[in-house]
Structure 1
Amino acid sequence: MTRAGLVARVLIDSPLPQLDHLFDYSIPPELADLALPGVRVKVPLRSASRVAEGYLIEVLGAPEQAQAEAGAEFQGALSPIDGVVSAAQVLTPAVWQLARRLADRAAGNASDIIRLAVPPRQVRVEKAWLAARAAAGADAVPGDASSATDTVAFFTDYPQDSLGPPVLARQRLCVAAVPDLVPLPDGRTIGLWARTMAELAVATLAAGRSAVLVVPDYRDQDQVQAALDQLAPTGSVSRVDARQPNPDRYRAFLACLEPAPRIVLGNRSAVYAPAHDLGLIALWDDGDPLHSEPLSPYVHARDASLVRQGQADCALVFLGHSRTVEVQRLVEIGWLTEVHPARNRHPRVIPTDFQSEPDPQARAARIPTAAWLAAKEAVKHGPVLVQVASPGYAPMLACQSCKKSARCTTCQGPLGLASASATPSCRWCGALAADWACVHCDGRSLRVVTLGTGRTAEELGRAFPGARVIVADGDHQLQQLGAEPALVIATRGAEPIPTGGYRAILLLDGERMLARESLRVGEDCLRWWSNAAALAGPGAPVILVGVGGVLARSLNNWQPEALAAAELYDRRQLRFPPAVRVASVTGTAADVAVAVVDLAGMDGVDVLGPVSTEPGSAGPGSTGAPLVRAIVRFAYGSTGDDVARLLKAAIVRNAARRRRPKGAAFRPAPTLKVRFDDPELL
């Protein structure tokens, strides 16, 4: 049967918002057998004879059918596609629908999301994959997952039938991770949470469906990979990792296209993996900022997994030692089901009041006497963890009289010095502190203090003569640690995993961590401290220094849901996210006014501002115009879709009206930027 006369609907791979829709092209007879949905194609733009790349989304029977679906009358002949780049159908219908929905929800381009979902093409790898498929034949039997480890012994740390059956029944769960460590036969030690994720994936694979496991970074991937090496069948795991060489990453992506169940493990982009017959999406530690995509349209991995779960009708699991306010909202509205461990075992957390410390030397070292004594005793038997806020020496300024940290009088940020002869300035807003006065004692003299891993290592090296001191931060990466005595000075998130757990854990600089201006600072601190406390050995003390209130109680009782519920209650009163959704509209005053004019009269929509983003800021494209920003607050559901549609129309209008000045090589950059669900907006 011939396929001549068909029409290809193509998505052009372009960041231009005015091109974010499907274009119709005719399919030449010589390309009819290759032009299938999902392949890469080249198409003419008919602008200076340019040829653009894109993806063939669907094939229609005739121009009349394309005309009917578009709802418009077409007169004339369609341009033919220029060529098919490869016969590999790399964009599956499920991934295309996911990209289109997420882009519409965030007023972005679908091609920007597809760029995250489909890695750059590697010709040799792709040709070898196509040849292997052709040799195997179209009737090849999909892989068999029956060799998976027996799942009867899985999930022993949770109540019976609380994890396995709900996941196989495609339910949505919020699972509290067990704060414990697990030794592996090869001598490595991993968090128990990693084994739980591996068990969920293997149970799904044994049922004949694929599982996607999403974790923040390579340290977490290595832990889950180690557990999968022990539990999953050989060759059933595809690791999609940005740190991989491009050929390896593309090879793993192509393996996901096979019509067989697989386990896909990776960071935030793994949520877009083209897994066959998806049965589970599991997300670890969704509050980690690495789950937030820094590129337009800035879709968080949590939001992508929520949308994909609805489209694929699969199970969804959020797993973590702490709980974000976004997940707490889903629990309270009944969209997620809570699952807690069978026994409420957790580290022994001891909050300490640093202000009442009588020893001035202990105050200067930031370690209370009780914490120092606990560390002195524990280091005789094994490793001791000291978590600090910053790496290196973190030079900061303090009051000469009261030794309190010097804060900016404008934004309360920390003061610092760019050089020895420079005027002190704020590290957050940049304001100069030429006439600074301490708010605690009215002192006017400053002194340089140094904190961080480097300074703390020096101080503890003198306090514990003979003890081995190990620094773990971004510049000194260490993942595994033995059981030998040592003092480990680590920044948050960089703590190595010791064999048998730490003998004691000291959580320092809590006051500094809480001083950061952010709506999420409380839940972020609880997440950092909970993840560190989960590395404690049996009975080891976890000493939280200088922090009290609901944060200390939540960590002491190991009830992160209490803090999340309190935060959500407060945000509902203030109409802050996630009680509502928000979007920031940034650009020149004229562009922002035009973009939000249609939103002002909508029910349930608030427009705050616009206000200047920074004094003296200039708009994109070197126009010299100052930037302003408006914040739009709106409800979930159809209201959010309407807001996104109107803002996307404003973006398209703004981009389409730009003209290239005479003599200029390029058009000026767009002067309007929209970002939905900005994590640092408030």
Structure 2
Amino acid sequence: MSPGEPGQPTLFGPAARRRRAVPAAPAPNETGPVAAVAVDVPLPHLDHPFSYAVPAALAATVRPGARVQVPFAGRTEDGWVLDVADGPLSGLRPLRRLVTPVPPLTDEVAALARAVADATAGTLVDVLRAAVPPRHAASEKAFLASSSPDGAAADVPSGTGGTVATVDPGPWTACVGGEAFLRRTAAGQGPLAAVRLPLDVDPWQAVLVAVRAALASDRDAVVVLPEVGDVEACDAVLRAGLDDPSQLALLHSGLGPTVRWREFLRLRTGRARVALGTRSAVFAPVGRPGLVLVWDEGDDGHVEPHSPGWDSAAVALQRAEAAGAGLALLGRARPVRTQHWVRTGWVKDIAPDRARRRAGAPRVVVPDPADPLEVHARVPRAAHRVAAEALQTGPVLVQVPRSGYATALQCRRCRHAARCPVCAGPLGLTGSTGAMVCRWCARPAPAWECPECGGRHVRAGVVGVVRSAEEWGRAFPGTPVALSHAGHRAAAVDGAPRVVVATPGAEPPAAGGYAAALLLDGDLALARRGLAVEEETLRRWLAAAALVRPAPAGGRVVVVADPGSRVVQALVQDAPELLADRLLDERAEAGLPPAATVARLLGTEADLAGTAADLRHEGTLPGAAPTAPERVAVLGPAPAEDGEGWQLLLSGGAADVRRATRDLLASRSAAKAPGRVVARVDPHDLD
């Protein structure tokens, strides 16, 4: 027997490769179980189920929701079993392997993922890739060893609810209609509401009460937050307040694959009934959803950056409505889209009355419009005076909208923008003694010279958070100054006098609340490009104001911006609904989201030129090219901002725009058109 023959050990060279047994093809005219499988190939023209024969060895374990491997286009691909039914097996290839004995998908989540893919002109497998975390085999094996002997998923009870327990409304009494929402949720109903909390109410206590109401109805709860830090803070409150903390499971990327998959399995098998996590937790496989709660739905942390770009607030609304569960869009601001849902009657508005708002909010101070020194100063005298007085009783928060040191430089003599001589990008400073560096190409510019006047000295056009901290340290010598931004977030601070300089979203809470907050560079924040700039600026200001003591306790907020701005007036009145109503009217008149649906296509000029011609019924793509309905307006192509290439916009009714976008992407995929076109329906960053 020579080396390499069967039965002979191989001493040198690679060992003989072991092949996995492939199930035999079914015999002609044979019938049996047939699986409808969504193959994990993210091509739009393949976004439909394929039929496969279920081998006899897998017939007892393959069921809807299972993860399998199938032969596809000469390769082995993963897939999701959407349905299993008896039928003819002739001509069908058999499934190759069952990946996990626990079907990751529930019927409810599978239907939800399909609805989300249709609403965003995406593919089902793209949505499922975000809905189900990556499998971790070792943790799954350990989990199943401590579970049922056969390793099967537990059947979650599907009753109509048990005895309704009395739920203490707690902070929900501050909102008109809050107690009624809790009663309906605890009774097994599905109220849909946009809930605006007063600024002095702890949001995690409100989340706890809502979760207890869902559990009282013998149903489960899903809580979705924008950031991991929010999840950690809410987790501490829920574990302290729930009768059985083991019913809580966390789902976010910071857990690591081992813990995340174990937590997912706890929810899937019914061992946990409350899912708490970031945006993908909106698809958590709870048994019977009774509440879907989203905190701060206007935060862009709820937007999925990968295709097809869904956001958890819209998905939560779809899920709650389909499952008959309660929906609570909980926050302190009011996004325009949420106001659109309120105006159309889709969701109910729950908010505090005027007296309760004023009692829980700090007093807002704006510059005197009659004093030019107040209006045009970066830090007016009134702001400096408020800070000095507040430091006598506690910490002061200073919110700066830009990170870095000096992010936009100007010629000191003529105020011409300082730009890179190589790529024309904006120059900036990394510190008080650092050299000028291009923010685009990172090249230093030590010998910069103004092309307009020949000047060699610059001034800061936009001051960042680092330089602001230096300036406040000089303004109040001897007072501690803390810095908090995305790259270096400070923890919670105590109630001792100090100045905390932070960027939006990175403000640490203070024990007992801040004595005052200064919102600097408001006009700069409002001058940014984008459709949602005004509502986003107000959301950031309200988040900072919520960290300040209420007006009866002496809390004050100074906003340095044009006093006549409608955003400033909404902050003064603590009435974000009024701003959202005005913006909604303007968008309806202009045909912009959410009053109309807009799809944004990004690509190269050549790709979008052919796409636009095709959508305008000129038929440039080979084969059966799609055309946009007459009710869909095709705008562009035109250069996109921020170096994103070119863009093409489709505007019209929701069904028409989504169908036109899906047909276009499927046609390009089937025809193997060159280039790449990326689509987003109602993008949050639309300019």
Is the structural similarity TM-score above 0.5? yes
Q: Is the 8 A contact 2:51 2:92 kept in 1?
A: yes
Q: Which residue of 2 aligns with 1:531?
A: 543
- SS state at 2:566 partner: helix
Shift of 1:217: 0.4
Residues 407/264 of structure 1: CA separation in 2 closer, same or farther (3 Å cut): farther
Task: Provide the residue aligned with 1:623 in structure 2.
Answer: none
1:274 and 2:320 correspond: no
Structure 2 match to 1:51: 76
Deviations 1:626-676 (A, max 9, x none): x6532111123xxx2x432333232122122228xxxxxxxx6x5332221
Partner of residue 333 from structure 2, selected from 307, 319, 322: 322
Distance 1:41 1:225 in 2: 34
Aligned partner of 2:103 in structure 1 is 89
Residues 289 and 32 (structure 1), Cα distance of their counterparts in 2 relative to 1, 3 Å cut: same
Per-residue CA deviation, residues 263-294 of structure 1 (Å, 9 max, x unaligned), is 11111111111111001111111111111111
Letter in structure 2 aligned against 1:51? T
Q: Distance in 2 between matches of 1:341 and 1:118?
A: 37
Distance 1:613 1:406, change over 3 A: closer
> Offset of 1:148 from its aligned partner?
12
User: Partner of 2:191 in structure 1?
Assistant: 171
**CA–CA separation in structure 2 for the residues paired with 1:317 and 1:53:** 36
| 2:575 is the alignment partner of 1:565 | no
CA drift at 1:341: 2.3
User: Using the alignment, how far apart are the partners of 2:576 and 2:103 within structure 1?
Assistant: 44
- Write the distance in 2 (CA, Å) between the matches of 1:491 and 1:269: 26
Question: Is the CA contact (8 Å cut-off) linking 1:595 and 1:647 kept in structure 2?
Answer: no
**Preserved CA contact (<8 Å) 1:4 1:27:** no
1:674 to 671, 679, 682: 679
Counterparts of 2:91 and 2:437 in 1: how far apart (Å)? 69
Give CA-to-partner distance per residue, 1:142-165, whole Å, 9 cap, x none.
799999996225333334733312
Kindly state the Cα deviation for residue 601 of structure 1 after the two structures are TM-superposed.
Answer: 6.6
TM-aligned CA distance change 1:287 to 1:110, over 3 Å: same
Contact kept? 1:178, 1:193, Cα under 8 Å: no
Q: CA deviation at 1:331?
A: 1.0
- Residue of 291, 304, 312 corresponding to 1:301: 312
Structure 2 SS opposite 1:543? strand
Distance 1:23 1:391 in 2: 50
Superposition pairs for residues 97-108 of structure 1, below 5 Å?
Answer: 97-108=111-122
1:436, 1:444 within 8 Å by CA — same for their partners in 2?
no
Query: Equivalent residues in 2 for 1:472-483 (5 A)?
Result: 472-483=484-495
* AA of the residue aligned to 2:125: S
Is 2:350 the partner of 1:339? Answer: yes
Contact 1:177 1:321 in 2 (8 A): yes
Partner of 1:460: 472
Q: Which amino acid aligns with 1:573?
A: E
Deviation at 1:258, TM superposition (A): 2.3
Letter paired with 1:590: G
Secondary structure, counterpart of 2:286 in structure 1: coil
What is the DSSP-based 3-state SS (H/G/I as helix, E as strand, rest coil) of the residue aligned with 1:61? strand
TM-score (norm 2): 0.83
Cα shift at 1:327: 0.6
Structure 2 partner of 1:202? 212
Describe the shift of the 1:536–1:113 C-alpha distance in structure 2 as closer, same or farther (beyond 3 A). Answer: same
Deviations 1:569-608 (A, max 9, x none): 1111111111101002334122342245388773542221
Task: Supply the distance in 2 between the matched residues of 1:518 and 1:381 (Cα, whole angstroms).
Answer: 39
Distance 1:147 1:460 in 2: 58
User: Aligned partners of 1:576, 1:251: CA distance in 2, in Å?
Assistant: 43
| Residue correspondence of structure 1 range 579-590 to structure 2 within 5 A | 579-587=595-603, 588=607, 589-590=609-610
Alpha-carbon deviations, 1:50-98, whole Å to 9, x = none?
A: 111111111111128xxxxxxxxxxx42111111112111111111111
Supply the distance in 2 between the matched residues of 1:29 and 1:675 (Cα, whole angstroms).
43
Q: CA separation in 2, counterparts of 1:539 and 1:172?
A: 36
Question: Are the equivalent residues in 2 in contact too, given 1:586–1:592 (CA < 8 A)?
Answer: no
Separation of aligned partners in 2, 1:212 and 1:301 = 11
Q: Determine if the alignment matches structure 1 residue 350 to structure 2 residue 326.
A: no
User: Using the alignment, how far apart are the partners of 1:414 and 1:611 within structure 2?
Assistant: 21
8 Å contact from structure 1 (residues 167, 316) kept in 2: no
Give me the whole-angstrom Cα distance separating, in 1, the residues matched to 2:328 and 2:120. Answer: 23
Q: Which amino acid aligns with 1:332?
A: R
Cα distance in 1 between the residues matched to 2:40 and 2:452: 53
CA contact (8 A) 1:122 1:246 kept: yes
In the TM superposition, residue 375 of structure 1 has moved relative to its aligned partner by: 0.9
RMSD: 3.4
User: CA, structure 1 residues 643+5, in 2 after alignment: closer, same or farther (shift >3 Å)?
Assistant: same
In the alignment, the residues of structure 2 paired with residue 140 and residue 46 of structure 1 have an alpha-carbon distance, to the nearest angstrom, of 36
Aligned to 1:496: 508
Establish whether residue 263 from structure 1 lines up as the match of residue 283 from structure 2.
no
2:410 pairs with 1:395: no
Within the alignment, does 1:246 sit opposite 2:271 as a pair? no
Determine if contact 1:353/1:545 at 8 Å carries over to the other structure. Answer: no
Deviates more, 1:247-256 or 1:670-679: 670-679
2:384 is aligned, of 364, 372, 376, to 372
The DSSP-based 3-state class of the residue aligned with 1:43 is: strand
**Cα distance in 2, alignment partners of residues 317 and 570 from structure 1:** 26
CA deviation vs aligned residue, 1:418-453 (integer Å, no higher than 9, x gap): 9999899999xxxx997569xxxxx99853456222
Aligned pair partner of 2:57 in 21, 24, 30: 30
SS at match of 2:499: strand
Q: Give the match for residue 157 of structure 1.
A: 174
Paired with 1:629 and 1:415, the residues of 2 have a C-alpha distance of: 24
Counterpart position of 2:37: 10
Whole-Å separation in 2 of the counterparts to 1:149 and 1:36: 36
Q: Measure how far apart 1:678 and its partner are.
A: 1.3
TM-score (norm: length of structure 1): 0.83
Measure the CA separation in 1 of the matches of 2:262 and 2:370: 57
- Post-superposition offset of 1:543: 0.6
- Number of corresponding residues: 619
Please, which runs of 5 or more residues in structure 2 have no aligned partner?
Answer: 1-29, 442-447, 618-624
Match of 1:220 in 2: 230
Q: 1:280 touches 1:316 (CA, 8 Å); kept in 2?
A: yes
Structure 1 residues not aligned, in runs of 5+:
65-75, 182-191, 438-442, 618-626, 660-667
Conservation of the 8 A alpha-carbon contact between 1:240 and 1:266: yes
- In the TM superposition, what are the counterparts of 1:416-455 in structure 2 within 5 Å? 416-417=427-428, 446-448=458-460, 451-455=463-467
Separation in 2 of the partners of 1:425 and 1:266? 34
**Aligned-residue offset at 1:131:** 2.8
In structure 2, relative to structure 1, the CA distance for the partners of 1:121 and 1:601 (3 Å cut) is: closer
Moved more, 208-217 or 221-230: 221-230
CA distance 1:424–1:363, change in 2 (3 Å): farther
Which residue of 2 is the match for residue 540 of structure 1?
Answer: 555
After superposition, what is the alpha-carbon deviation per residue over 1:210-251, rounded to whole angstroms, capped at 9, x for unaligned? Answer: 111111102221222122122112211111011111111111
Distance 1:9 1:426, change over 3 A: closer
> How has the CA–CA distance of structure 1 residues 507 and 303 changed in structure 2, closer, same or farther, with 3 Å as cutoff?
same
Q: Measured at CA, do residues 507 and 354 of structure 1 come closer, stay the same or move farther in structure 2, by a change above 3 Å?
A: farther
SS at match of 1:471: strand
Q: Which amino acid aligns with 2:523?
A: E
Contact 1:209 1:279 in 2 (8 A): yes
1:115 aligns with 2:129: yes
Shift of residue 328 of structure 1? 0.8
Distance 1:302 1:230 in 2: 27
2:648 aligned with 1:630: yes
Deviation at 1:30, TM superposition (A): 1.3
Distance in 2, matches of 1:13 and 1:600, equals: 28
1:236 corresponds to: 247
